[in-house]
Structure 1
Amino acid sequence: MSMPHVQPDAEFLSGDSTWVRMRTVILVRWTAVAGQIGAILTVTLWLDLALPLFACAVTIGALVLSNLLTSTLLPVSYRLSTKELRSLLLFDLVQLAVLLALTGGTTNPFALLMVAPVAIAATGLRRGSATTICIATLIAAVCASVFSLPLMYSSGEVITIPPLLSYGYLLGILITTIFISVYTHRVSAEIRNMASALMATQMALSREQKLTDLGGVVAAYAHELGTPLATIKLVSAELIDELSDHENLNTLREDAELIRDQADRCRDILHSMGRAGKDDLHLRQAPLDSLLHEAAEPHMDRGRQLIFDLRPADGSDGKQPVIRRAAEVIHGLRNLIQNAVDFSASTVWIDGHWTDEHLIVRVIDDGPGYPVHLLGRIGDPFLRARPDEVKPRPGYDGMGLGLFIAKTLLERSGATITFRNGGDPFLDQHERPERSGAIVELVWSLAAISGTKSGGLGENRNNPGV
């Protein structure tokens, strides 16, 4: 069975700000107001600095008025759009730059607060909006430094700072702004991608488990209805025998025959529907070849030759291991086989080898192999780069999500996964070996994957009523 197509939330992936509540922004801005007022009062009353108090009060009052208006016009539970959050950050940035220009410019120790809007934008806004905030911060920092008023004591003595330190403070703010913007946005994007990929993995596993449970329910119905259907068939057969001696009761005999035929039909339907369910329910473990064939079954008739090579490794006792039929293992292997079939030229090899302690499974194709520049990132979600020479995969957008899901599920079952190419992709086609495409190697400890022992994932729970 194929994995459902999971489309991650576009706003979440792109970094849209609709998850930022108005209440959060209001509280942060009130904190900024309190901090600005406290800093002005402290340097005026305690350090005896002469500041343009009226201009500072007007600047702080603008932030207070803006906060009052937004808190009045919008409910506290309102979630800001990208444009709204960007506008508020730009306003706060300009307000802070003006206040810094009135209090010494970038030599003011609180000038580092100009990095705060950049960090918020890099975390909660898309790349374009975050870049706008970053550029605005750089411009505001330069303006606050160039057009700043000097600090002086109330006695009229001007506090002088060496020009080298002034330029150093400005340069430090500019570099910090760029670093925080790029680094924070990059980390936030990776976190969002990973969260969405894990959500897709959970949905795929949940669907696989539901289908397994559904098979168990069908098996339960087939089992429970078997007895009444057998009784109906027996009684109808007796009625047919009794009515066969009465020529005037042919109509009733035909009705009894119809009942028997329909009972047989119900039995056959339930038997065909419940076969897979009974397998999932009662065979919670299976030989390695059965499990690999089950994982490959949806891709058997897709125009590719699937070759299974199952044999013990040197030095083992030769007994084929019995594997837990966990949904994680089957779904993960199925995704890997699907990927190999999609990119293969004609053949896919599925190897299974075992020793006394380990199980090794390899999925190999004769396709072009993994792109060399992406080989170290195979298994990461949302890989967008893709060479033109690699043929497109039907129904697959080249983001690496399928391999990520398979890797996550199989690692959860205790597997160690390695991705590599079977041959040099730069060789001509006639120079490449037969197994020249992509190779996925999975190694389990038999103690973790064996069906005779409880593994790390626990027992595969199905309907207990059968």
Structure 2
Amino acid sequence: MPVKMEATKQQTGITHTKAAANVEYAAGHKNMAQLIQLRWIAVVGQIIAIGTVILGFDVKLPTVPMLEVLACLIAFNIASQLRWHEHREVTNGELFLALLVDVASLTAQLYLSGGTTNPFAFVYLLQVILSAVLLEAWSTWTIVAITITCLDGLALFAKPLALPLDHARGIGSLYVQGMLLCFALIAALLVVFISRIMRNLRAGDAQLADLRQRAAEEEHIVRMGLLASGAAHELGTPLATLSVILGDWKRMPEFSKNAELIEEIGEMQTQLLRCKSIVSGILLSAGEARGELSAKTTIKHFLDELAAEWLASRPVQTFAYQNRIVHDLPVVFDSALKQTICNLLDNALEASPQWLSLEATRDGDTLNVLVSDAGPGFAPGMLAQLGKPYQSTKGRPGGGLGLFLVVNVARTLGGSVTARNRAEGGAAVQLSLPLAAIALPPQEERVDE
């Protein structure tokens, strides 16, 4: 059994590592989408700038080569959009390459339009800041070195832009106006896109924190499973001994002549059988004898049988059971799901021994199981911490594990658990599960038919 539990822990670790990688890839995909949007803005901005400078200020530019560079940038952006629409995994190297293309395109346009005398040469800062936010440290410093080299090359080899040297005019200077426009453009783009990128990063961090919390909770469940399985093995021998002793007592003359004692022995044997059933259920949930006890059934029969079995062994005064499932569905009997619903009922029974209800409904492809009671309800703080271990109002060591296990089993099956306080008093806990998690595969349905 320790070997099985260790394997389960290793598998859980692998699953969460993959999930963490998926979160990082998702954040990278969103950041790549932001770069693609920014590149479309750059394309539109360059078209407007070239047209304005040529037509509005009568500045002569090599229009054809500049439009060729712009066409290459458009082609690269269309290819990027098609590729990243299909592939969601984006690495640091791919983001680095995308920014290098942007730097190369900007360098080519500046070389054709005045080099460092073009006031839009400061757009390099946009690439540097984006790299600092998006890339690893070595990639960012590489972008810094490349942009400095490009600026040096432009200062050495590019032909100056034919603008009047009228800096003394201040705001009336065409160069100063270009610088102000460049600053406003960079500032606006940085505010918009850095805000979006940081939102993506924060969302990714929140998802990673949630995954770490789940990993810790599932490791806790694995440890509990190990202890429960070990306890079940250890309890097997004393339970068998008690069964033999009770059988001997029943046949002894001293007891057989006393009807009251015989009745009590019979009750003890009944409770002993229940203990053995619980132990068998623990071993089943731990993975032992699963193949022997699994069975095919329907969701209505599964719930009807569960409700009848639970009611037969619990001292509840009034149990209102309503199975509102109209369209039945073949399912595979799941001991974990059975124990989950029983945990909900047991918690409700402890809070409200006089009355509780179980209502089952089907909403499309979702199974909803609602357990209600007439007890004191949940404290506001408990509703906020629903599903956390050891959150309980019962005041005993180990309390709160029932709902903790319910929430984690539901999450493993792709479902959810919600809780609320009823207006008429008491609490209501709803378990929602996708039927696909327990539905019988179509191939097996056809074989059975």
Fold match (TM-score > 0.5): no
TM-score (norm: length of structure 2) = 0.40
TM-score (norm: length of structure 1) = 0.39
Higher relative contact order (CA 8 A, sep 6+): 1
**Larger fraction in helix:** 2
